[in-house]
Amino acid sequence: LILTARDAWHEKVDGFKAGADDYLGKPFHTAELIARLQALLRRGVVRLHGPLCASGLELNEETQTARVLATGEQFDLTGVEFRLLRYFMRHPGQVLSKTRLVEHIYDFDTERDSNVLEVYVNRLRRKLGRELIATRRSQGYVFGADAP
């Protein structure tokens, strides 16, 4: 459930695409929030998800590994590599700014450095292929086999 001050329709769509089951914009009534939470709980705690697949890759959430579908080659990923690749795979073909990526992969207490992000992007490129993550000068990165 996403609780946010942002309630434009396109922001709601982005929230659902990112994996939200529900979206509630502020202001909201407490009774509505409780009803939505109860509805989510009724759906059950166990949610079976298959691996995330995009651009010829399969990402396994449980083992934190990536597999190239064409070759079957599998790679172990560090925690940051996994979170970064998962975010890329959930947003294929989109220009993702360094700021957005850094905010996503680090928690609030971690010092953020875009140079560290570049290191992790290069690690993913070495493991999975340079063509999967394209650099957009002064904009960020684009993930996908058709990345310009």
What's the burial of 89, exposed, middle or buried (CB within 10 Å: 0-12/13-18/19+)? buried
CA gap 130, 80 in Å, rounded: 18
In this predicted structure, what is the pLDDT of residue 47? 45
In this predicted structure, what is the pLDDT of residue 118? 93
> Residue type at 120?
Y
Structural domains of the chain, count: 2
CA gap 17, 20 in Å, rounded: 7
Structural domain boundaries, residue 15: 2-42
Query: Are 90 and 17 within 8 A, CB to CB?
Result: yes
Per-residue pLDDT of the chain (148 residues; tens, 9 = 90+): 888 888 788 888 887 777 777 888 888 889 998 888 888 777 654 445 678 899 999 999 889 999 999 999 999 999 999 999 999 998 999 999 998 898 878 765 556 666 889 999 999 999 999 999 999 999 999 998 554 4
Do 66 and 104 sit in the same domain of this protein?
Answer: yes
Do 65 and 29 sit in the same domain of this protein?
Answer: no
In this predicted structure, what is the pLDDT of residue 64? 92
Report the CATH number that the domain containing residue 139 is assigned in CATH.
1.10.10.10
Is the whole model's pTM more than 0.75, yes or no? no
In this predicted structure, what is the pLDDT of residue 39? 80
Work out whether the CA dihedral 100, 13, 80, 121 comes out positive or negative: negative
Do 89 and 61 sit in the same domain of this protein?
Answer: yes
Collect all residues with Cβ–Cβ distance below 8 Å to 97 and sequence separation of at least 6: 139, 140
In this predicted structure, what is the pLDDT of residue 140? 93
